[in-house]
A and B are shown apart, each in its own frame.
Chain A
Amino acid sequence: MEHAVAALGELFEPMRLLALFTGMLAGMVFGMMPGLGGVAAVSIMLPFIFLFDELGGLAMLLGAISVVYTSDTITSVLLGAPGSPASAPTAIEGHAMAKRGEASTALGVGFLASMLGGVVGALTLALAIPVAGPIVLALGTPELLMFAVVGLYFASSMVGKDLAVGILAGCMGLLLGAVGPAPAAANYRFTFGQAYLLDGLSLTIVALGLFAIAEVIGMLAGGGGISTSRQVVSSWGPGLAIFWKNKWVALRGALIGTFGGFVPAVGANASTWVAYGDSMRSAKDKSRFGKGEIRGIAAAEGANNATVISDLVPTLLFSVPGGPAAAIFLGALYSFGFYPGPRMVSEQPTLLYLIVWSVALASVVGAGICFAISPLMARLTRIRFALIAAPLLLVMVAGAYQSTQTFGDVAVLLALGMVGWYMKHAGWPRAPVLVGFVLAGPMEQYFWLTNQIYGWSWLLRPGVLVVASFIVLPIVWRFIVAMRRKYAPSAEMEAVLLSGDEDDPGTGPTVSRLVLAVLSMVFFAYAAFESIGFRPNARLLPLLAIVPGVALSIFVLLREFRLLWQQRAAFRFDARDEYPVAALLLLYGLGIFLLGLDLATLAFLIVVLTRFAQMRLAYAAIYTLILIAGVNGMFKLMRLSPPEGALIAGFTFT
């Protein structure tokens, strides 16, 4: 206890508070930028931490870590583009609410849930540090495998009303997750001879591509403001009241998130989806999920913030970072000469409590600041789409590009962007793709490790049985309830039937549905062909996706053809007005490849701003130049070099 008080005193040194708040502001800005999450914020802060003393420097990083998942709510709700991958559920539910004019409720609940998550995470950190050692050690490889399986099972509640395409989407995600090195066989899969793919796809890019690009295309093509009705963020009253009603959902989310953080490599993304799935399972009326259900926001925001903070538990106890941001924090601890480990708990109690206080303070103050700036941000949504979409797209390209700084980042972003765009219009759920993608890695890794270490005896380990009960108990419970009600239709089926995706595409045959059906057929057929050459140990996980994938693709394709045959008259060329924008976007990608970022952006933005935002050429040119200067400044700050054009480079040297 006296350590806790002493640590608070240490933190309240003016310079350290300054460091904490500087970090917080940076974290908030990065949280709001789609694609630039905690990792980007922390890595940008890294060079600056040495301006302060060691406790101040660490406080700065903690400030950034703690608020990223609070401020990303703003982007997710107002723009529908996830501010960071782990807030994709918030983007789905929150943006649907914003479209109904309930932005302030969604934001209020999101902020409060984030704050709760942060505080629960900090509390856990304080309580867990003395006792968590045995818990972390009790979670063996088989238990971690079981967690991944539970996550995938929870994801099944997100498949939406069309079971076939929902599962197909999940299989696609698993397959995307299989790109790159196979953990158990030193076999590279689906890399097409590209060094870029040797590490697999980046989560940031997959999330941005699937969710955000489609939004930007829609925004550019749509004209007008972001919401059809006015986005009023004025009264926080309803938000507070509704948060209070959903406090237990948020708390459950926070606890799930905390638990996810304990386990290295589970990360905020996986535990957010698990919490979201859990909130869906525990809801009485599941039909509103995907259409703006506040419970989804409360659970997801509670979870993601709690996870990044409890990621610090394994980091501090065992020097094993719980997540990517925690990994950078660990690096900073090392460079200040702190060596986390069981000994640190007894030797450096003040440092530990300083970490706890920093995180707690940043979470609370960060939520407060978010409340304060949201009305300002909401006003932005009333100006023309294209004016916001332009910088948003630039930030996304920059955010994607910082993954490896090769053109592959931009190419994958745009390719997945096109897929996500078609999925949005065809009414295919995108969440299962992301969940499959996130869980493919841990599932495969832990399965093979478990198999190599334990054979099959792991199935009987008590820990595994406890974790498995998360799946089995609800099923048994439902079964009992169903038996009692006998002929009443089961709640489960109803949920599956009713929970739709964010957009309701209607039922008739459309170009998007046809294109996607053909695309997924090609995708799985090719994967099946390539996987023939894999080593047995590298083939299992892809097959888990390919076998159902091929079967379902055939089914969906036949179904689309039949639908087309039956309703020829109703066949629509949907989203026709968005095609020029999509084509322009692809051209932009090609332009970046050939001419480099600056020239391509110049051409792209001037066309977009004059054509879609009806800006006058002179204004458009000025705005474009400001944006290009801004993005170059950002690259400078991140110590990256912007994409260079292949053509230009070629000319200079010959």
Chain B
Amino acid sequence: MIRHTGWGTCSVAAAVVAGLFGTPAQADFSGQTIEVIVPFAPGGATDVAARFLEKYFERHLEGNPNVEVINREGGGSILGAKWFEANAEPDGLRLLFTTSSTANPYVLGQPEVEYDLAAYRVAYGLPFGSVTYVSAATGIKTVEDFVKADGLIYGGIGAAASDLPTLLSFELFDVDVNSALGFTGRGPIRLSFERGETNVDFQFTPVYLTQVADTVAAGDAVALMSGGYMAADGNMTERDPAVPDLPSVHEAYTDLHGEAPSGVEWDAYNAMAALTLAFGLTAYLHPDTPDDIITLYADAVERINADPEFQEEAKDVVGGYPLTLPAYAEGPLRAALQPSDEVREYLIKLLSEKYDVQF
């Protein structure tokens, strides 16, 4: 029963314990079960990734614990996050493995959010990449054509969902794109693109590589840019290693205008692309989780990244990116989760005025 305690009691208790005795060092997870809470339905991208990682964490975490993936879907991931907030403990045994669906409402301050994401610690992350492409029927060949084009239709799920970085990139480039929002998933959007109903689309890299790259190679679609990859300074300025031939949003902008993007449009893109792509999948831990537990996860991440079987399989399943170490993730992730007031106001204004999102 004590597991279902609220933060208040728990953090006080933890602080008292830590103050009196010092945190007992945890050598390993042997004989333990680690629960990975996925706040989405089974079979979705997050669930697939969580289950894919299951065996590697069982193999490489010190003590070879049993890792179990548990789905708690509902409320667009908010219910699962809420449950995690109420039921996690600083023992490293329960993780919340989630996406920007949980982070965006937090950043935008939506009223249903009852979790303090920026206070959480991070066990590991798995980046995503994205590729924006257009139909060959538009006649667009280059980014320059794209910026000047009209009659562009983009299909999306919702402006405040995973579409946000792509929509922000349209703002950054000042492209005239009409969006048809309200699709149920990126799969149906891709079908709609193939039917010629929409002519601008983005897909996450694993799907792009397996489903769209052929269409691009056949000349039926033109890939324009990737969403970018996080550089060491925490900005989304590098080329995506999964699609090394494509420029990032940052690079495409620089090539087009002769100078690097700046201003609130870039800051907003940078923050939301970091949340959606660089921290596309993040495993969060209780805010008071001690450093020695974080170290256990960090060691496992390094061993998994070096595991040749992981390197081979990850190419197909999750786009081939290495796992992110907690030390690299926490700082930039907190920054992206708590953008400046200027960026937040810009996002809220854009979403409510252009995309009719209610706050």
What residues make up the interface of A, taking CB atoms closer than 8 Å to B? 42-43, 46, 136-138, 140-141, 181, 183-188, 193, 195-196, 198-199, 264-265, 314, 318-321, 324, 327-332, 334-335, 337, 339, 341, 343, 403-406, 445, 448-449, 452-454, 535, 537, 639-640, 644, 648-649, 652-653
B167-180 interface mask toward A, CB cutoff 8 Å, 1 = contact, 0 = none?
00000000000111
Contacting residues, chain B, for A187 (C-beta < 8 A): 356, 358
Tell me whether A452 and B356 are in contact in the complex, defined as CB-CB below 8 angstroms, given that A319-B187, A331-B42 are known contacts: no
A/B interface sample: 18 pairs, CB < 8 A: A46-B51, A140-B195, A184-B182, A186-B358, A196-B79, A198-B78, A264-B191, A265-B184, A319-B211, A327-B41, A331-B44, A331-B51, A335-B48, A339-B211, A445-B183, A452-B178, A452-B182, A652-B1
Query: What does the 1/0 interface line of B1-23 toward A look like (CB < 8 Å)?
Result: 11011100100000000000000
CB distance from B309 to the nearest CB of A (A): 12
Instruction: Report the minimal beta-carbon distance from B50 to chain A, rounded to whole angstroms.
Output: 10
Chain B residues near A183 (CB, 8 Å)?
Answer: 181-182
Rounded to whole angstroms, the CA-CA distance of A453 and B44 in the bound complex is: 27
The smallest C-beta distance from B11 to any residue of chain A, in angstroms, reads 13
- Chain B residues contacting A648 (CB-CB under 8 Å) are 1
Indicate if the CB atoms of A406 and B42 lie closer than 8 Å. no
Does A535 lie within 8 Å of B48, measured CB to CB? no
With the chains together, A452 CA to B280 CA distance in Å?
29
Q: Which residues of B contact A639 (CB under 8 A)?
A: 68, 70
Closest to B13 in A: A653
Among A264, A334, A452, point to the contact of B48 (Cβ < 8 A): A334
Give the distance to chain A from B164, nearest Cβ to Cβ, in Å.
11
B residues 342-356 in Cβ contact with A at 8 Å: 351, 355-356
B-side residues, CB < 8 A to A, are: 1-2, 4-6, 9, 41-44, 47-48, 51-52, 68, 70-76, 78-79, 82-83, 111-112, 114, 153, 155, 158-160, 178-185, 187-188, 190-192, 194-195, 197-198, 207, 210-211, 214, 313, 316-317, 351, 355-358
| B191 in complex: contacting residue of A136, A405, A537, CB < 8 Å | A136
Tell me which of B42, B74, B317, B357 contacts A403 (CB under 8 A). Answer: B74
Chain B: interface secondary structure? Answer: mixed
Report the Cα distance A272→B110, complex, angstroms.
38
The reply to whether A341 and B188 contact each other, CB–CB distance below 8 Å, is: no
Q: Is A453 within 8 A of B82, CB to CB? A: no
A199-B75, A320-B190 as given contacts; A452 in contact with B180, CB under 8 Å: yes
Find chain B residues with CB under 8 A from A321 CB.
43, 187
Q: Enumerate chain B residues within 8 angstroms of A181, measured Cβ to Cβ.
A: 76, 158
Chain A residues with Cβ below 8 Å from B70 are: 639-640
* Contacting residue for A320 out of B191, B214, B316, B358, CB 8 A: B191
**A194 and B71 alpha carbons, distance in the complex (Å):** 20
Q: How many Å from the CB of A61 to the closest CB on chain B?
A: 11
Complex Cα distance, B66 from A413, in Å, reads 35
CB–CB B158/A337 < 8 A: no
- Give every chain A residue within 8 A of B358 (Cβ-Cβ): 185-188, 535
A43 cross-chain contacts in B, Cβ below 8 A: 42, 71
CB pair A331 B182 closer than 8 Å: no
Query: Which residues of chain A are within 8 angstroms of B207 by Cβ–Cβ distance?
Result: 319
User: Across the interface, which residues of B come within 8 angstroms of A198, CB to CB?
Assistant: 74-76, 78-79, 112
Residues B79 and A185 in contact, CB atoms below 8 Å apart: no
Contact check, A453 vs B74: say whether CB atoms are below 8 A apart: no
Most chain B beta-carbon contacts within 10 A, residue among A183, A198, A324, A403:
A198
Partner of A46, one of B1, B42, B72, B73: B42
By a CB distance below 8 angstroms, the chain A residues around B190 are: 318, 320
Q: Contacting B1 at CB < 8 Å: which of A328, A337, A649?
A: A649
Task: With A184-B182, A186-B158, A649-B4 as known contacts, state yes or no: A265 contacts B188, CB within 8 Å.
Answer: yes
Instruction: Report if A137-B191 is in contact (Cβ < 8 Å); known contacts: A337-B316, A652-B2.
Output: yes
Most chain-A Cβ atoms within 10 A of its Cβ — which of B2, B68, B76, B179?
B76
Check if A335 sits within 8 Å of B52, measured CB to CB. yes
Are A449 and B112 CB-contacts (below 8 A) given A196-B79, A330-B43, A337-B313?
Answer: no
Known: A137-B191, A265-B188, A331-B42. Is A405-B5 also a contact (CB below 8 A)? Answer: no
Residue among B75, B79, B111 facing the most chain A CB atoms (10 A cut-off): B75
Most interface-central of A140, A141, A328, A454 (chain B CB within 10 A) = A141
B72 to A, closest residue via Cβ: A405
A448/B313 contact (C-beta < 8 A), A199-B75, A318-B190, A403-B74 known: no
Among B72, B191, B207, max chain A CB count under 10 A is at B191
CB contact under 8 A between A186 and B357, given known A43-B71, A199-B74: yes
Could you tell me if B182 and A406 are in contact, using CB atoms closer than 8 angstroms?
no
A186, B195: Cα distance in complex, Å: 25
Out of A184, A320, A332, which one reaches B188, CB within 8 Å?
Answer: A320
Which residue in A184, A327, A405, A406 is a CB contact (below 8 Å) of B43?
A327
Chain A CB within 10 Å — which of B158, B160, B188 has the most?
B188
Chain B residues within an 8 Å CB radius of A195: 74-75, 78-79, 82, 112, 114
A199/B76 in contact, CB under 8 A: yes
Instruction: Collect the chain B residues with CB atoms within 8 Å of residue A324's CB.
Output: 41, 43
Closest A residue to B73 by CB, please name it: A404
Residues of B with C-beta under 8 A to A332: 43
> Which residues of A are found within 8 Å of B210, using beta-carbon distances?
319, 339, 341
Q: Are A331 and B180 in contact (CB under 8 A)?
A: no
Assembly CA distance A337 to B195 (angstroms): 27
Bound-state CA distance A653–B192 (Å) is 53
Taking a contact as CB atoms under 8 Å apart, the answer to whether B75 and A653 are in contact is no
A residues near B71, Cβ cutoff 8 Å: 43
Report if A335-B316 is in contact (Cβ < 8 Å); known contacts: A195-B79, A198-B75, A649-B4.
no
Is there contact, CB below 8 Å, between A653 and B5?
yes
Using known A-B contacts A328-B42, A335-B48, determine if residue A445 contacts B187 with beta carbons closer than 8 Å: no
A327, B358: Cα distance in complex, Å: 30
Given contacts A43-B42, A137-B191, A537-B356, contact A445 B73 (CB under 8 A): no
CB-CB nearest 5 A-B residue pairs:
A331-B43, A183-B182, A404-B74, A452-B180, A320-B187
CA distance A652 to B158 in the complex (A): 42
Q: Which residues of A contact B9 (CB under 8 A)?
A: 653
A198–B112 CA distance with the chains assembled, in angstroms: 9
Taking the closest CB of chain A, its distance from the CB of B18, in whole angstroms, is 19
Per the bound structure, the CA–CA distance linking A337 and B9 in Å amounts to 45
**Residue in contact with B79 in the complex, picked from A141, A193, A329, A404, CB distance below 8 Å:** A404
Closest B residue to A649 by CB, please name it.
B4
